[in-house]
Structure 1
């Protein structure tokens, strides 16, 4: 726990969330809440014909770690398919739970490494990744 939990990089990410507006016509929307801290993230997606995220919209009401995580997710989710987003969700959970030390599965996640030592923060960090994975999966199953 040598690195500060709320550092400049996390605060910078928290204040610069891309796609931080709900979509007018999403194919799927998923909201996730953290029962621990009350953080809430809603993710809207539209998928392209190849089953990849083509458009993304977010509403984020979370702590700085949840906001930073949402910024990292939103910065790279467009172009990803549901399977990749599900794999990312599982890899993030494995990292936070200590079952893996790998953070190379998604760009920028190393900035959140200090939060691994704070299990009460894990739910907020996972919200946006959980929501986008579910929204993408729901959109692929939904009729167009």
Structure 2
């Protein structure tokens, strides 16, 4: 629900651009030209006028439907760890192999193992960490030799 409201606000902030205005004018032009072909008959015969007019209307409505796809939102997966003894809560980035109720890491206060309580994903507006490229292990071995 909140995501939809944010998208609506972004659409309202955009306003009218030259590109969208030209696109709308082009759509109106094709639809009106198609209707004129059907109604007034500029072609050689009635069937040609109908097909040309219908074709122009189809082009206009197709242009009207073309939209730029929104980019995929950037997501970050987080893990919440909880110490059952002292109640310390720790939030960290998700690591491969994390699962709920798993005993993981030691508590900073009492040195007992902490349990994974929640794993969830949040949508970010900006990336927090640059993408890290994983090096191929074979290349590392070749570089060492």
TM-score per shorter chain, which class? Answer: under 0.3
By relative contact order (CA 8 Å, sep 6+), the higher-ranking structure is 1
Q: Which structure has more strand as a fraction of its residues? A: 2
- Which protein is bigger by CA-based radius of gyration? 2
How does the TM-score come out when normalised to structure 1?
0.21
